A and B are shown apart, each in its own frame.
Chain A
Amino acid sequence: DGGITQSPKYLFRKEGQNVTLSCEQNLNHDAMYWYRQDPGQGLRLIYYSQIVNDFQKGDIAEGYSVSREKKESFPLTVTSAQKNPTAFYLCASSITGARSNYGYTFGSGTRLTVV
């Protein structure tokens, strides 16, 4: 079955520590995205990548970093510079090109809590 997998589902971090959230897809999608969701709020775009070895900042990239070394993988690192990292993080992927509808497939999310 094709899909997008985020791990872990729950993650606890001490203040001052960096932490990396995993996102893997086997859908052969070119584009991948990271969103953050706070309680009662919509999704906000952190970073996105249209192709391997290239990525762009979204609306709230400060305190986060990403890499796209493989088509299947788009890990997100939450650094100690992120002032309020406790949130629900969602990864998504989509195909690109003139014939695609650019619909996104989302993972099930990682809930990060700073303790």
Chain B
Amino acid sequence: DAKTTQPTSMDCAEGRAANLPCNHSTISGNEYVYWYRQIHSQGPQYIIHGLKNNETNEMASLIITEDRKSSTLILPHATLRDTAVYYCIVRVAVGNQGGKLIFGQGTELSVKP
């Protein structure tokens, strides 16, 4: 199973872009990269996912390197409400019906005024 490595914590100034890195050097060709975030004492919230191409939605952008060994989640204009733990996850396939998500320790992002 592919594992991910993320920094334990990061700070970001309010209004600036937050760039959260993730290494997944053992990722397989058919495994997706997912990002979730968890605000204290709540359930994790889906942010974005991707396979090879860069992806963007209303919450964030996901940049995946060409060799797929690492990725970066970008929050373009961080707000105080973006303070949370961010999890980078590689989806593990289970049979033909899709995968279970294995969570690591995540990155604790603190957005400061």
Contact = CB atoms under 8 A, between A and B. Distances in A.
Interface of A: 30-31, 33, 35, 41-45, 48, 50-51, 56, 58, 88, 90, 92, 94, 96-97, 100-109, 111
Range of interface residues on B (Cβ < 8 Å): 20 to 34
Given A48-B100, A50-B95, A58-B100, A41 B105 contact: yes
Interface in B22-52: 32, 34, 36, 41-46, 49
A94 B104 contact: no
A78 to B, nearest CB: 18
A8 B79 CA distance: 31
Interface in B71-113: 87, 91, 94-95, 97-106
Given A35-B103, A42-B105, A42-B106, A106 B34 contact: no
